[in-house]
Amino acid sequence: MTDTTIDRVLCDPVRCKLVGVDGNAYSLMGHWRKCAKKEGRSPEEIKSVLDEAMSNDYNHLIWTLDRHSK
């Protein structure tokens, strides 16, 4: 795969447990956003991760949120 955005980490991982959250994409993004805000992440960091998460299919969304969570 030649797309380098998939390897790029857009911000430090957020303390966010995605297991047990409703599997709906909007629920997952909302939960991750809430965790990121709670940790004081900037709106720009949050937007960059969520934009990347939404740039492809559902599997990419899960992968992106997981990569930016700890």
Domains: count for the chain: 1
- Residue 5: the pLDDT is 52
Written as tens digits, the pLDDT of the chain (70 aa) is 334 455 567 888 999 999 999 999 999 999 999 999 999 999 999 999 999 999 999 999 999 999 999 9
Domain that holds residue 52: 42-70
Residue 5: strand, helix, or coil = helix
| C-alpha dihedral (33, 69, 60, 56), degrees to nearest 10 | 30
Alpha-carbon span 25 to 42, nearest angstrom:
22
